[in-house]
Amino acid sequence: MLRFNAADIDNKYYYDGNDLGANIVGEDKDRTVFKTWSPLATGVYLNLYLDGEGDNRIETLPMEMLDKGVWYVELFRSCDGLFYTFSYEFEYMNNRLETIDIYAKACGINGNRGAVVDFDTTDPKGWDDVPKPKCANACQAIVYECHIRDITIDESSGICPEHRGKFLGLTHSRTRCGKSETCLDHLKELGITHVHLLPVADYATVDEAHPEKAQYNWGYDPKNYNCLEGSYSTDPADPKCRIREFKELVMTLHKNGIGVIMDVVYNHTYHTEDSSFEKAFPGYYHRKRRDGTFSNGSGCGNETASDHLMFRKYMIDSLKFWAEEYKVDGFRFDLMALHDIETVNIIRDELDKIDPGLLMYGEGWTGGESPMPADKLAYKWNSYRFGRVGLFNDNIRDSVKGGTFNPYDLGFISGNRNTSSILKRGIAGSVPHYQLYDASEACWAFEPTQAVNYAEAHDNHTLWDKLKISCSNHYTSADLIKMDRLAAAIIILSQGMPFIQLGQDFLRSKPDKTNSGSAPNEVHTYNGNSYNAPDFTNAIKWNKKNKYRCVFNYYKALIKLRKSSGLFRMANKGDVEQHLQFIDTGDANFIVWKLESEKECFVISLNPYPEERYFNLPWGIFYKRLDEFGFTDDEECSGYVRCAPLSATVFKRI
């Protein structure tokens, strides 16, 4: 094995060029330059192929070693449309290690060979004419998490069969299921500002060559970070097809005023010893334990080394590529706490140079123990040291519905009377507030823009399934719907950035099929980890939007309310301190707060009890009450007002 010190490698061989990979160059695009970085290799070779798979090699060319560990070869022709790999030799090995270029920006089927692409030929018509949506800060965003396959794969989506489960599925308009709009038109109707796409970069476990197989994955098994996933394209064998179709998706969403956030998974590689990184420079790109074994902070077999300068550079180059070539509007980082704080801050700086409005948020936890000191990693408890980056607010999540990892645990909406202090912290954006003294662990945000508030995401049970598991023995279905709506009001009206999972707005469920064999469509359990479950579990059944239209309308009204006033979207803690005030109801679990400026005032109450509750509105002032269609003008409220059981009530000063 190679023996080296990573710090010595960084000091001696760090390369700051922006030309690694395959690049078509020259005014006439008549040359192709290939570069790769492997400072301890004794030889590197370029392999050219006619296709992305099969026995069709054209030639193998030796590469020349330049300064800083860069290997180079230049061909005096455009290689647009050809495929390539690199082979590496090291002094301790008797064989060459052939692998796809880690910097490949396009690839063949199943991502085993890079593809040389002239990206100017991949732009759909009008690509440069569509402006990106503007987003001043994270509190202006309302994020909707989607999986490319889930949203369109079911027949009820109304999408043509050849585009179901594909990038192009989200480019269709005027699709319906009964009386309800679906897919793109659903996003527009709901009123969200950004779509967060579960990983669309090339991942390992779906065989793109056999789409007829029953295959599914969320995509957190990364293979090629700069290439798109082929199973979402109509022709995985054509590298330009997936590029063009993803650009069409982005362009369509932008035309409709919706931003696109990419879920990125730089914290680990799906393969470990066999990963392209390990073949390109064994031992450098992954963190190791003292005994030389791979550390496993991801829980997936390894973790990458963001603190090593050339992997840090790799992440930055990759993110800049996605932001500039595909015009995406932000990034969500899987297991972000595995990345060191310095890298996270540098990434934010680099994204700001492209567009300060690019969103950046991630998970402030790991999937296992890392050998890197915890005070150097982007854990949530270190949040003040990277305050320009958002973090998922697990405090508000678990206070609302109960502990995520115990499906029977209860939360504020379902009868737990011990979560109100944590919940109030979340309502105030998880920043310091003069009225809040306890639950200090939930006061972690540098600014409200750092708090990503949510009740459900792709991980774990959906909110609706958790309510059915934990509460159905004691409450009616009508009560559970009230709880769900109460949770929606908390998440959407709290300070911070609201985050909603696809279908949450019409009670999405993830059922498992029974294993009894006697009733194949009978449901008996709910899937809390559906990362590779079939469409039966994951696909959106759009008829549920018809069935639970009252829930959808309520989410829609809450989103409209949030967008109507800056009081729900305060971006700094000073404004929260000044304009948000909790009202004493005499009951810690009956939460009421006021949002007030010189121009307007809102009062919001949360009643988690199965009985009605009352409180006093500010004396002598008249308000109107919000229902699921907006504010009603036929009822003026003042003084002592009623709050229905298991409900949020919003009053606006007249």
Task: Please write the tens of the pLDDT for every residue from 615-644.
Answer: 999 876 788 887 665 666 567 888 889 999
212 as an active site residue: the answer is no
* Those residues with Cβ within 8 angstroms of residue 599's Cβ, 6 or more apart along the chain or in another chain: none
> Could you give all domains of the chain from N- to C-terminal order, each with its CATH number?
6-121 (2.60.40.10), 580-653 (2.60.40.1180)
27 as an active site residue: the answer is no
For 265, counting Cβ atoms within 10 Å of its Cβ (0-12 exposed, 13-18 middle, 19+ buried), the class is buried
Q: Which structure tokens are listed for 580?
A: 């948000």
Round to the nearest angstrom and report the end-to-end CA distance of the chain: 74
* Cα–Cα distance measured from residue 439 to residue 437, given in angstroms and rounded to the nearest whole number: 7
Q: Which structure tokens are listed for 132?
A: 């990106």
* Those residues with Cβ within 8 angstroms of residue 533's Cβ, 6 or more apart along the chain or in another chain: 216, 510, 512, 527
* Cα–Cα distance measured from residue 357 to residue 510, given in angstroms and rounded to the nearest whole number: 34
* Cα–Cα distance measured from residue 230 to residue 228, given in angstroms and rounded to the nearest whole number: 6
Task: Please give, one letter per residue, the 3-state secondary structure of 59-128.
Answer: EEEECEECHHHEEEEEECCCCCCCEEEEEEECCCCCCCEEECCCCCCCECHHHCCEECCCHHHHCCCCCC
Amino acid identity for residue 7 in this structure = A
| pTM, rounded to two decimals | 0.96
Helix, strand, coil percentages in the chain from 3-state DSSP, rounded to 5: 30, 25, 45
* Cα–Cα distance measured from residue 95 to residue 73, given in angstroms and rounded to the nearest whole number: 21
* Cα–Cα distance measured from residue 214 to residue 165, given in angstroms and rounded to the nearest whole number: 13
Q: Which structure tokens are listed for 469?
A: 């598991």
Out of 334, 447, 465, 484, which one is annotated catalytic?
334
Quick one: CA dihedral 255, 259, 265, 270, positive or negative? Answer: negative
- What letters, b where the CB count within 10 A reaches 16 and e where it falls short, cover 57-70? eeeeeebeeeeebb
Are 254 and 128 in contact by the 8 Å Cβ rule? The answer is no
Q: What is the pLDDT of residues 368-397, one digit of tens each?
A: 999 999 999 999 999 999 999 999 999 999
Q: Which structure tokens are listed for 406?
A: 């115990």
Q: What is the pLDDT of residues 240-250, one digit of tens each?
A: 999 999 999 99
Q: CA nearest 498: which of 432, 551, 436, 561?
A: 561
* Cα–Cα distance measured from residue 508 to residue 461, given in angstroms and rounded to the nearest whole number: 10
Out of 363, 447, 465, 484, which one is annotated catalytic?
363
Are 347 and 277 in contact by the 8 Å Cβ rule? The answer is no
Looking at residue 517, what is its pLDDT? 47
* Cα–Cα distance measured from residue 168 to residue 152, given in angstroms and rounded to the nearest whole number: 10
Looking at residue 211, what is its pLDDT? 86
Classify residue 531 by its DSSP letter: T
Q: What is the pLDDT of residues 201-227, one digit of tens each?
A: 999 999 999 988 889 999 999 999 999
Rounded average pLDDT per 10-residue block, the chain, 654 residues:
90 97 95 98 98 97 97 97 98 92 98 98 97 97 98 98 98 97 98 98 96 93 98 98 98 98 98 97 96 96 98 98 98 98 98 98 97 97 97 98 96 97 98 95 97 98 97 93 97 98 98 62 79 97 97 96 97 98 96 96 96 88 74 73 94 90
Q: Phi, psi (5° rounding) for residue 594?
A: -115, 135
Place of tokens 């390539």: 84
Are 186 and 169 in contact by the 8 Å Cβ rule? The answer is no
Q: 201-203 and 222-228: which strand pairing?
A: antiparallel
Q: Which structure tokens are listed for 433?
A: 């507030």
Q: CA nearest 590: which of 517, 649, 537, 522?
A: 649
SS3 label, residue 410: coil
DSSP 364-407: SS-SS--SS-GGGB--GGGGGGGTTSEEE-HHHHHHHH--TT-T
Place of tokens 């009616």: 476
Q: Phi, psi (5° rounding) for residue 123?
A: -80, 125
In this structure, how many other beta carbons lie within 10 angstroms of the beta carbon of residue 366? Answer: 23
Looking at residue 214, what is its pLDDT? 87
* Those residues with Cβ within 8 angstroms of residue 113's Cβ, 6 or more apart along the chain or in another chain: 49, 52, 53, 83, 84, 85, 100, 107
Looking at residue 304, what is its pLDDT? 98
- 47 vs 85, 313, 503, 570, CA distance in Å? 5, 25, 46, 55
Looking at residue 633, what is its pLDDT? 56
Question: Taking phi first (over 0 means left), then psi (-120 to 50 degrees means alpha), and beta for anything else, what does residue 114 get?
Answer: beta
